[in-house]
Every structure is written in C-alpha cells, then in structure tokens.
A and B are shown apart, each in its own frame.
Chain A
Amino acid sequence: MKDKIEALRAKFASELTNVKDLTSLEDLRQMFMSKKGAIQDLMKDLGAIPNEQKKEAGQMINTFKQEVNERFEAKKKELDELALKVLLEATESYDDSMPTDNPCGSYHPITLIQRELEDIFESMGFDVEDYNEIVDDYNCFEALNIPKFHPARDMQDTYYLNTPNQLLKSHTSAAQNTIMRKYGDKLKKYGRPIRAVFPGRCFRNEAIDACHENTFFQMEGVMIDKNISVSNLIYFMKTMLSEVFERDVTVRLRPGFFPFVEPGFELDIQCLICGGDGCPSCKNSGWLELCPCGMIHPNVLKHGGINSEEDPFEYTGFAFGLGLTRLAMMKYGVGDIRVFNDGDLSALSQFVSR
C-alpha cells in the first residue's frame, strides 16, 4: 500500500508540474479525487488489507488525500492568480484624453434671463403671466392713458395690422389692463395684493443694426394694494435689482415721462463695472439707465377697474419695465443685438444651461 501511495504521489507530482491551466488541473483532480479516481481506488484496496494494518493504511491514504488536496488548492490558487495577472495585463489602459461626442442643447439667452427673473419674482410672491403678441389699440394705448395723437405715440413706431384696431404690441405695458381685470376681484374681495410680472416679445419699427432691433423682449411688473407708495417702489426696485445682479446695487430715480405712470421715473443703477467712477460702459456718468417705472396713473387704475370714479386713489400701485434683451446683453456680454433673432446656431449654441 505504501509503495502504491508513493508511486501515486510521484505521479501526481509529475502530472501537477505539467498542469498549465485550470482545465488540465480539473482533469488531474478528476483523475485522483473523483469517485472513480485513484484515491477512491486506494480506498477500495483497503478492503484486502489485513485488519491490523488497516488503521495505518487508512491513515496513510488520508494523509495522501489531504496532501493531494492541499497541493491541488495551492496550484489552483496559483493558476487563478496567474489568470488574473494575464487578464490585467491584457486590459487596455484607456486614453481618457480622447475627445468625446457629447451632444448638448442650448436655451435661447432670453429664456435663461427670463427664467432667472421669473424665479426671483416668484420667490417674492409675483404671479407670472403670459400675454399675446398681437394686442388691440385699447390695451396698448388707450387703457394706458395714451389717447390718440398723444405725442407719446411718437416715441414708439408701432406696427399696426390690417385687422380691426390691432397691432404688434410695442411694450409689455399693454398687458396691464388685462392683469388688473384678472386679479382685481381677488384684491377687492380678499385683499390679495396684485403682484404680477409679464414677460413678452415687443415690436417697434426700427432699422436693425448692432444696437437696434425691431423685435425684443421686455418684462413688465405691477404691484397694487391699498397703500403702495413711492418709498415702497424704491425699496422694491433696489431689492429686486440686487437679486438680479447678485450684489447690492445702488439705485437712483429721475423724473421720467410715461403717460401711464404719475409720478414716472427713470431708474438708474450705479455702474456695475466702474462702481460709479465713470467708464466707457456708463459713458463716464457712473450710472446706467436701466428701467422706467413709476406709480400707476390713476386713469390706468380706473381703466383696469381697480378704482372707481369716486375714489380714484383707493388703491395705489407701481409698475416697472425691464428690458430683457438689454439685460441679457449686459449679463452675457453680447455686443450685437442681432444675435438674438437671426438664428445663427454657432452663436446661440453657446447658451447652454447652467
């Protein structure tokens, strides 16, 4: 028995050295360890051995089996490691500096600035309204205290249409009357102040060049309640503009004439580039004219159904207009206004979302 085991041990050792992969290792394992394998054969031989030697022979077989098992496991481990090493070596180290094709869409810059402002206004309790591009003469002028032949109509070269009394809106103020009518009831019945902004496309008949467009965007805002004052207006404009420019801005008001406000103002902000010292951006004045605003004219509130003839000052309010196109130009450093409407994708595709 002992000799048999020794012979087998020698055979196993020599076979094992020939093993180069897991398949031949498995064959070897079958040869020795399976039910029909060499070790099982030894166990069968045990039956023919005299009883007094059985114990010793059994132990020898067991020792051998254990030894084969261990060496087998060691070999397997060795082969596994080798395989892993081969696999690792075979794996490519990637060149992550290769260019990638990452399709990336873009928003129109007006959408970006409009969303930013709408977020600010919504956070301040303003409703965001939508309004038509084609409006009637009443909403664009009459309701705003601009009667026919008023010189103020001179300021805006209006595109009138060949439909009854209709025109392409020349300013977002054209929405004021509609907004007042929409929210007036809630103001009067429940004391819910009217706070609304309405962005939109406006049209004026102008020759187009780098600074002038016939199609542009504004955002109008109104706030109406029982005791809205000039002081509130200044406070609000300062707060709102500080949000827009993400810093504390200094504002100043100058008298400005717009028929739909009284008093009316031109609001300037201290130049953000030079801080008020004077630079080319502010034409050396230290100030940038930013948005017209004012206390809503009593006639406009009356047209909007907010106040009655008897008490034209029951409710008061302010209105302001922001030039979205101009703000976008300032914010993104767009020097030529034509970029906005001429659909050149090499320009517009740069306005990816933040």
Chain B
Amino acid sequence: MLVSMNWIRDFVNLDGQDIEELIHRFTLSTAEVEGIEYKGKDIENVVVGQILTCKDHPDSDHLHVLTVDGGDGIYDVVCGAPNAREGIKTAFAKVGGRVGEMKIKSAKLRGVVSNGMCCSEKELGISDDHSGIMELDPSYENGTDIKDIFPIEDIIFEVDNKSLTNRPDLWGHYGMAREFAALTGQKLKDLEVMENDYNGDAQVPITVGNKDLVYRYTSVRIENITKKESLMQMKIRLFYCGTRAINLLADLTNYLMLELGQPMHAFDGKKISKIVVDTPKQDMKFTTLDGQERDITTDTLMIWDDETPVAIAGIMGGLDSEITDDTDSLVLESANFDGVSVRKSASRLALRTDASARYEKTLDPEMTMTAVKRFMKLLFDVDPDAKIVSRITDEYVKKYPVITIDFDKAFVDRYTGIDISSDRINDTLLSLGFDTERNGDSFKVTVPSFRATKDVSMKADIVEEITRIYGYDNFTIKTTLSPLLPAKTSMLRKEENMIKDLLVKAYAMNEIHTRVWQDPDELRDLGLKVTDNVKILGSAEDQGVLRCSMMQSFLPVINKNKNYRPSFGIFEIGRTVRGVREDKTANEVRTLGIALYSKAEPEKQLYFKGVELINALVDELKHKSAKYVKTETGFDWQHPKNTSEIVIDGKKVGVINTVHPQVLTRITRNAAIVMIEILMDDLLAIEPDALEFKEPSKFPGIDYDLSLVISEGVRFEDIQECWTKDKMRELKEVSVIDIYDKGEVRSVTLRFRFELPDRTLTSEEVQVDIDRILANLRRVNVELKL
C-alpha cells in the first residue's frame, strides 16, 4: 500500500519531525516499509505561464511557436501540444529549471529558439495524462511557482501489504496517521465530517436477505450533483497512491477507501430504487464494470436493485449502474460484508480488487457511518449545490462484541522480561485509541472497534501494542533461567548421520535431494509410467503423484548424470509413500535410496559392491549381518533375476536389485546400475547387538584352508550349514581367502581357524572337525578343489 505523508499530515502534526527517521520507526513499530519516494523534488522553477500568442512553426506540421508570459518576462517557446492556444494558462518550466530528468535549457527546435517548456501533467509526475499541456485556472497569477498552487511535493512510502494482513485499521491513511501520532506523542486530529441536514422521511430502502454474510449496510441518496471533476490536489494524492482519477464521484469513493480503508460504491441514482443484499437463488451471469461477464454462484453475495443485480458485494460494481459523465445523482453504498465470504467469492471469481482485499481483512463495521458523513463533507466541499434527498439509512445486522481485557503491569513485565512503567503503558494504549481504566498497576482496557474485529482479543495482544511502540531496540536482553539438562542425539538422527558418513567417506558417494513426486516426462524417457499412488489435489492426470520408491527419482538423476563420471554413487534419505494405511491416510516411509553406476565395472562386480556396502552398513549400525532373499520384482525397472530382499533378524528392511535391461538400455548400453532401498524406520527398529569382548586365546590355534567348488544354482548360504550346524567349540572363525568366479566355475577358498581358550589343540583333534565338515560337504555334493 502506498502512503502519502501529506495525507498523514492532514491528521497529525508532524512539524519539526525528521520524516525519514519517522518512517524508519514505523517499520520497527508497525509494518515494513519497502521503499520511500520523494515526489516533486525533481520539479524546479516551474511557474504559471500564460500563452500570449500561438503561431504554427514555419518548419513543422505539429509544432507551435508561442510567446509565454512567465510573470517576470515574455518568452519565446516552441511547443508541440495540440491544446496549446492563445490565452490559456499552463505550467511553464523556465530555462534553468528542471522537469524530472530534464534540465531546461535554451535550445533551437527546427531553427526556432525555445526558451522554456510548457508541461503536461505526466511531465510533472502528477498523473499519467500526456494528451496535452496542463490548463490552469485563469485566476492564478502568472509567475506563481506551481508548487505553491499544487501539493506536488510529497513523501510517498510503500508498506508491504503482507505485513498489514492482521491490521484492518491500517488499510487507510487515517489509521496510519494514528500510528504516527502514537510514535510521536502527538494527538490524532478528529476526522471532519458533515452531518445530514435532510429533514424529510425518505430512506434508501434496504433489505438484507442473507444476514449471515452482512454486518452492516449504510446508504444515502444525493441529487443535483453538477461537478464532474475532482480538485487537482485530490487527483494528485490518488495518483501518488496508485489510483487513476476518473470522475468526481468515482474519485471520492476511491479517496475514501484510501483515507479510511472503507470501500464504497456509488450507484447511479437513476438506476437504483431499492437496495437488496442477498445471494442469488440460482447460478447466473453478471457483467462487472470492467466489461467482463462473470459466472456467479449461489454462494456469492450480490447487491440488487430490487430484482436486478447491480454489484458483486465487496468486490466490484456492475456495468449497468456505473457512474457515467451524465450522472447527477447517486445512491452511496458504505457497507460491511463478511470477510471470509468476500475472500472466497473473490478467489472463486479470480477477481481480487482493492475493495475485496480490504474486506478480507475483517473491517470495522462502525466505520460505514463515518465514511458516509466524510463522503458528504468532501463532496459538498467541491459541489455545494448538491442535495441530500434521503436520511442516512443504516441496516446494522450484526455487531462485534465489545472486548475488554484485564491485566496488570506484572503480567507485562513477565511477558516482556523488562520493566515498562504503568504510566507508559497507559499513555501508549491511549494513543492507539484504547480506553483504559487504571487502578494503580492494574488495567481494564476496552479495545477500540477498529482493532476488535479479530486483531486484539487478549493480554498477549496488549503486550504487543505496548512493546512495539516502546521499541524492541530499547529492550535489555537476558538469558533464560532454565535448568540445564543434557539433550541427547536421538538414535534416529545418529543412524542417519552414520549412514551418510559411511557412504560419503568410505564409499565416496554423493548425497542428493530429489522431489517427492514422480515426474511423468522423465519417467517416460526411461520407458516407465507413473505408478499410481497418493497424489496432490487438483493436479493433472499423471502429475503430482507422490513417489512410492526412491528409484522413481533416482533413475532420472542417473540418466542426467550418465556422462558425469565413468563411475559414481548417489544416495538420499528421503520419504516415499507406500499407498495408504487402514485409515486411508498416506503411508509415509522414511527411505534410504542408494544407486551405484559404473561404466568401468561389470554389473556383477558392481552388484557385489552393493552387497558389501549393505553388509558394512548393517555391521556398523547393528553389529549384525544381513541375509539376501531373492524376490519377485515390484517395479518395472527391477531385474527379475537379481532383485533381493535385504533381511536382518528375519525382518525385511529393504531391497537390492540390478536394472531391467528394458530400462537400462534407455539410459546406457555400456554401464551397470545397482539400486538399493532401505526402509529406515524398519532398520531403526532392529535392536543392535551389543559389543562382546572375548579375550584372545593365549594358546596357538591351527588354520586349515579348504577350496570348495560351488556348482551352478547352489547358494553359498546353503553350504554354510556344513560347518555351522555341528556347533564345534574349537572352530573360532571362518574367513574368505579367495574367490574364483568365472561364469560357470565358481570356487571359494576358506580358512578355518581352530582354537581353544585354555589349551593347545592337537592336529588330531582338528582333523576330526575337518573330517566332519568334509562329510557334511559330501552330503550336499560340494567338491573340494584340488
């Protein structure tokens, strides 16, 4: 919102104040100021000048050669304005003066010397009218500085609308002025209004149908309006505050809205006989004054002239009842509609207006009457011949309750942590328009109506009022007096950190972040479809569907990075959604995704790197070992032969797989990809084994190596039983010495270590164990490699 400092000064005396400093304090105490603009500073030496003669330029078809009386002399001026003519007075910039970026110098225009320039309103920065030069009232004396006539100089600052969301009172200059009064300790001046001098019985008939959506509707009828145009100073203010001047009545409603924050609407008096405020019985079309035809639903509050719709309540008037140049009478609307309803209608219609933006903030219904009287005052200042022909008709449907709040200084002290005197509390609240009843350090305050619609309702709100004016910069700050208690890192966070460290440091992998929804285009490139899942409301068919596997995000990332390096690994601890739970809510699962990519290593080798990585991870986190169980594929990208569940303590915690050739070849023909997904909460649930210390034996052990040939289709874990099932006490450890793996021929050399804690074993004893193992191996047809 743009705020004019001149306008503020109508209501509060700021003489002798450093305005810039004041605006800075406004930022710290009230709302964020986004910028300050100094208007009129770039207008120098522009005076009232009268065109004495006007001749065509000898060498141009549109330029004129003028003589202008600048008060202190007659000047020859070349001017291109179509309305330049003998006798009129205009804004004349003299040589040495300045108009915006332009320094006025004596110059030749097509051979004729021009000493000065006649200016348009746009050139002076006071409107966007550039159709011709300004035409001034003939009563102004030639040579008078234009700034002495019009308030061209002003300081305009822009307040961030977002920071006014909770302050309906600040959507007009009068409310802003109250803040400046409180900040400077000055008194806020009363608003000048006009009481109705109409003595008859005529009313504006008002019927409120839907009483849920209307707080108040205030109206008056005025006739015999003869003036069409606003005064220049009003036009300038409107322009500086971002509104274009249209005609007197429209300008007045806009001016009132900017002054009080109260949206108003002027209907053409001839078009309105009876105001009805109600929602339509059925959906309908309605053309707003911007010429657009709009679809109106049955929950959109409308204003009707009896049965003819004339406006969308609180949003925009209709084309048919709009004020035109012929309008000489009006029915004024100053109303208060339900904020939520206006907001919903505006967003349904995709039509947010200055009026609807204000209504949304929950305006003070008390204001409608004041606004009407202020409107009359401003209208009659300009057009004293106008006639009020009705009473001010006031349909006050719903009132907000009066809010009183009891508190004492001790509460303020406790909440702020500092000591603010009761006098200061009292003065601050008074200056902000609160009524206070003070008894020593105890207060009972009545919240003014303009703050009581939702903004201020309890003690904490009062503290804010006091402290923001007191100034947060003036706070002494201190630490809390809370007991010191240790905070321990949760196991969840520890596991995440350990996994990240392991993958980054030991496996040189790159952590990535990916989006939680599937990208249909990226998946399509890989020959994949979006998998049906929980999705974002209102998104197109295959858009906004949440991922059910990290790999829906990872495969596209790999595809994008396939030429990054010959080999790389990526991982992320993120979320996947695995359908819905019993109560139909999304089944969100914390998931670790890992993918290995390599052009250098064959797939098998890469796969075992993945297995090794999981084994290391499970060992580090849980001091346990993982098992792998071949499983059916769940997704199109998983390889039917090499997709295994990762199992710890009999519980599934994840999946490792290679990539199905139909997907892999879309990415690359000469690289391998291995993917791992681990469900982090299932992993977290597994109790880690304790570290158990076993004293190393003081007696030498005996190592015995065996090379086993593993035939096709046999899994190593099936052979393992041969030495574990007999639970030989002496068998201390079995370690892998060598693996030979060339396609069909596969052998493993194992070292069996035999050892006892209390004595030296004999080779005969060991041989007994070895014979048992060999017997077991023979039983499952495992041969020894010789």
A-side interface residues toward B, CB under 8 Å?
103-108, 110-111, 115, 118, 122, 125-130, 132-134, 136, 149, 151-152, 154-155, 159-164, 166, 168, 191-193, 195, 201, 203, 215, 223, 225, 227-232, 234-236, 238-239, 252-257, 259, 262-266, 295, 297-298, 312-313, 316, 340-346, 348-349, 353
**B38: Cβ under 8 A from any A Cβ:** no
Given A163-B584, A252-B473, A345-B564, A257-B487 contact (CB < 8 Å): no
**B243: Cβ under 8 A from any A Cβ:** no
Cβ-closest chain B residue relative to A122:
B487
Given A105-B503, A254-B32, A344-B560 contact (CB < 8 Å): yes
How far is it, in angstroms, between the C-alpha of A164 and the C-alpha of B580 when the chains are bound? 10
The prevalent SS among residues of A at the interface is mixed
How far is it, in angstroms, between the C-alpha of A215 and the C-alpha of B574 when the chains are bound? 13
**B504: Cβ under 8 A from any A Cβ:** yes
Q: Are B458 and A255 in contact (CB under 8 A)?
A: no
Tally of contact residues, B, Cβ under 8 A: 94
How far is it, in angstroms, between the C-alpha of A265 and the C-alpha of B468 when the chains are bound? 10
Q: Are A229 and B415 in contact (CB under 8 A)?
A: yes
Residues of B within 8 A of A229 (CB): 414-418
How far is it, in angstroms, between the C-alpha of A195 and the C-alpha of B486 when the chains are bound? 11
Given contacts A108-B513, A128-B489, A230-B415, 13 further A-B pairs with CB under 8 A are A105-B505, A108-B572, A132-B575, A132-B588, A133-B588, A134-B577, A151-B343, A154-B343, A161-B546, A230-B475, A266-B32, A295-B460, A316-B415
**B421: Cβ under 8 A from any A Cβ:** no
Residues of A within 8 A of B546 (CB): 161
Q: Are B480 and A228 in contact (CB under 8 A)?
A: yes
Q: Mark B568-585, 1 if CB is under 8 A from A, else 0.
A: 111010110100100111
16 A-B residue pairs with Cβ-Cβ distance under 8 Å, sorted by A, are A128-B490, A132-B575, A152-B165, A161-B534, A161-B536, A162-B536, A168-B536, A193-B482, A195-B482, A228-B480, A230-B463, A231-B417, A231-B477, A232-B478, A295-B415, A345-B564
How far is it, in angstroms, between the C-alpha of A217 and the C-alpha of B490 when the chains are bound? 20
Cβ-closest chain B residue relative to A213:
B515
Which 5 interchain pairs have the tightest Cβ spacing? A229-B417, A231-B417, A263-B464, A103-B508, A105-B504
**B166: Cβ under 8 A from any A Cβ:** yes
Contacting A at CB under 8 A, from B588-615, are 588, 590
Residues of B within 8 A of A168 (CB): 516, 536
Q: Are A215 and B516 in contact (CB under 8 A)?
A: yes
**B400: Cβ under 8 A from any A Cβ:** no
How far is it, in angstroms, between the C-alpha of A161 and the C-alpha of B545 when the chains are bound? 9
Q: Are A159 and B536 in contact (CB under 8 A)?
A: yes
Cβ-closest chain A residue relative to B511:
A108
**B694: Cβ under 8 A from any A Cβ:** no
Q: Are A230 and B500 in contact (CB under 8 A)?
A: no
Q: Mark B453-492, 1 if CB is under 8 A from A, else 0.
A: 0000011110110011000110111111111111111101
Contact partner of A257 among B166, B481, B507, CB < 8 A? B166
Distance in Å: Cβ of A259 to nearest Cβ of chain B: 8
Q: Are A297 and B343 in contact (CB under 8 A)?
A: no
Contact partner of B557 among A192, A265, A343, CB < 8 A? A343
B-side interface residues toward A, CB under 8 Å?
27-32, 162-163, 165-167, 339-340, 343-344, 360-361, 411, 414-418, 458-461, 463-464, 467-468, 472-473, 475-490, 492-493, 497, 500, 503-505, 507-516, 534-538, 544, 546, 553, 556-557, 560-561, 564-565, 568-570, 572, 574-575, 577, 580, 583-586, 588, 590
Q: Are B415 and A313 in contact (CB under 8 A)?
A: yes
Cβ-closest chain B residue relative to A214:
B515
Task: Specify which of B473, B497, B537 lies most central, judged by the most chain A CB atoms within 10 Å of its CB.
Answer: B537
Cβ-closest chain A residue relative to B31:
A255
How far is it, in angstroms, between the C-alpha of A239 and the C-alpha of B478 when the chains are bound? 10
How far is it, in angstroms, between the C-alpha of A19 and the C-alpha of B546 when the chains are bound? 85
Residues of A within 8 A of B564 (CB): 345-346
Distance in Å: Cβ of B448 to nearest Cβ of chain A: 18
Given A122-B487, A255-B30, A343-B414 contact (CB < 8 Å): no
Distance in Å: Cβ of B1 to nearest Cβ of chain A: 14
Q: Are B415 and A256 in contact (CB under 8 A)?
A: no
Q: Are B497 and A115 in contact (CB under 8 A)?
A: yes
Q: Are B504 and A353 in contact (CB under 8 A)?
A: yes
Residues of A within 8 A of B489 (CB): 122, 128
Q: Are A106 and B511 in contact (CB under 8 A)?
A: yes
How far is it, in angstroms, between the C-alpha of A234 and the C-alpha of B556 when the chains are bound? 45
Residues of B within 8 A of A228 (CB): 480
Residues of B within 8 A of A295 (CB): 415, 460, 463
How far is it, in angstroms, between the C-alpha of A193 and the C-alpha of B487 when the chains are bound? 11
Cβ-closest chain B residue relative to A147:
B340
How far is it, in angstroms, between the C-alpha of A346 and the C-alpha of B510 when the chains are bound? 10
Q: Are A230 and B416 in contact (CB under 8 A)?
A: yes
Residues of B within 8 A of A230 (CB): 415-418, 463, 467, 472, 475
How far is it, in angstroms, between the C-alpha of A88 and the C-alpha of B306 when the chains are bound? 113
Distance in Å: Cβ of B405 to nearest Cβ of chain A: 12
Q: Are A341 and B561 in contact (CB under 8 A)?
A: no
Residues of A within 8 A of B463 (CB): 230, 262-263, 295
Given A105-B508, A234-B475, A255-B586 contact (CB < 8 Å): no
How far is it, in angstroms, between the C-alpha of A136 and the C-alpha of B585 when the chains are bound? 9
Residues of B within 8 A of A265 (CB): 472
Distance in Å: Cβ of B208 to nearest Cβ of chain A: 21
Distance in Å: Cβ of B480 to nearest Cβ of chain A: 5
Q: Are B515 and A341 in contact (CB under 8 A)?
A: yes
Residues of B within 8 A of A105 (CB): 503-505, 507-511, 569
Residues of A within 8 A of B476 (CB): 231
Cβ-closest chain A residue relative to B477:
A235
Residues of B within 8 A of A161 (CB): 534-537, 546, 586
Given A151-B165, A230-B415, A191-B588 contact (CB < 8 Å): no
Distance in Å: Cβ of B559 to nearest Cβ of chain A: 10
How far is it, in angstroms, between the C-alpha of A130 and the C-alpha of B472 when the chains are bound? 33
Q: Are A348 and B508 in contact (CB under 8 A)?
A: no
Contact partner of A340 among B468, B513, B590, CB < 8 A? B513
Residues of B within 8 A of A256 (CB): 32, 163
Q: Are A133 and B508 in contact (CB under 8 A)?
A: no
Contact partner of B29 among A126, A134, A255, A345, CB < 8 A? A255
Q: Are B482 and A225 in contact (CB under 8 A)?
A: yes
Q: Are B487 and A231 in contact (CB under 8 A)?
A: no
How far is it, in angstroms, between the C-alpha of A152 and the C-alpha of B473 when the chains are bound? 27
How far is it, in angstroms, between the C-alpha of A201 and the C-alpha of B486 when the chains are bound? 27
Cβ-closest chain B residue relative to A128:
B493
How far is it, in angstroms, between the C-alpha of A100 and the C-alpha of B221 when the chains are bound? 90
Contact partner of B504 among A106, A201, A312, CB < 8 A? A106
Q: Are A232 and B536 in contact (CB under 8 A)?
A: no
Q: Are B416 and A125 in contact (CB under 8 A)?
A: no
Contact partner of B534 among A162, A254, A266, CB < 8 A? A162
Given A229-B416, A230-B417, A192-B485 contact (CB < 8 Å): yes
Q: Are B570 and A345 in contact (CB under 8 A)?
A: yes
Q: Are A160 and B487 in contact (CB under 8 A)?
A: no
How far is it, in angstroms, between the C-alpha of A155 and the C-alpha of B340 when the chains are bound? 15
Residues of B within 8 A of A126 (CB): 487
How far is it, in angstroms, between the C-alpha of A239 and the C-alpha of B479 when the chains are bound? 9
How far is it, in angstroms, between the C-alpha of A316 and the C-alpha of B416 when the chains are bound? 11
How far is it, in angstroms, between the C-alpha of A254 and the C-alpha of B28 when the chains are bound? 5
Q: Are A160 and B536 in contact (CB under 8 A)?
A: yes
Residues of B within 8 A of A166 (CB): 534, 585-586
Residues of B within 8 A of A297 (CB): 460
Q: Are B480 and A223 in contact (CB under 8 A)?
A: yes
Residues of B within 8 A of A344 (CB): 560-561
Task: Specify which of B418, B536, B577 lies most central, judged by the most chain A CB atoms within 10 Å of its CB.
Answer: B536
Cβ-closest chain B residue relative to A266:
B32
Residues of B within 8 A of A234 (CB): 472, 475, 477
Q: Are B537 and A341 in contact (CB under 8 A)?
A: no
Given A345-B564, A348-B511, A164-B584 contact (CB < 8 Å): yes
How far is it, in angstroms, between the C-alpha of A66 and the C-alpha of B632 when the chains are bound? 85
Q: Are B487 and A298 in contact (CB under 8 A)?
A: no
Contact partner of A235 among B343, B414, B478, B575, CB < 8 A? B478
